[in-house]
Amino acid sequence: MNPNEDNLCPSFPREVTRVYGFPLVVFVLAIIPGFNFTFSGHGGPGWFLAPLCFPSVILWAVLRITKGAQEARTWYKTFFKITIPTYVTVAYPLSWAATKSIEMTFGLGIPAWKYNGQLYVVSYDEPALTVIDLD
């Protein structure tokens, strides 16, 4: 495969897999009981990977839009205009499912997000996660 071949002829399924594969794996690890041990209440590695999902998508977008042939850049701009809002829309219910799965598996009291303007600070106490409401 020629290094410029990807940039000249992007494929929608291939790019979805490349860009959103990492966040999908993190969601699968969080949602499916048995795999969600990576999100144990005592600081499993999943807690370090989860915050990297959206920044990795943005990094892919920046790299794909700024590198390569002009035709490919136009294609990638359209691709990310469609897929980033879709990702955000799909990520919210998947995050809720992951939260409930982790709560049911480990008994962690992680509140689902509230969109009412409150700011939450998360502090890790022994042995469980504590959420402090600053409002």
Amino acid symbol at 128: A
Phi-psi region of 82 (alpha: psi -120 to 50; beta: other; left: phi over 0): alpha
Look at the chain and report how many structural domains it folds into. 1
* Inside any domain, residue 58: yes
* Inside any domain, residue 135: no
Residue 5: C-alpha distances to residues 8, 40, 49, 72, 131 (Å): 5, 42, 31, 10, 48
* Inside any domain, residue 83: yes
| Tens of pLDDT, residue by residue, the chain (135 residues) | 444 555 567 899 999 999 999 999 999 988 888 888 887 766 678 888 888 899 999 999 999 999 878 889 999 999 999 999 999 999 888 888 888 888 888 776 656 554 333 333 333 334 444 444 444
Range of the domain at 82: 5-108
Up-side HSE of residue 89: CA atoms within 13 Å toward CB? Answer: 5
Q: What's the predicted TM-score (pTM) here?
A: 0.71
* Inside any domain, residue 26: yes
* Inside any domain, residue 116: no
* Inside any domain, residue 119: no
pLDDT at 22: 94
* Inside any domain, residue 128: no
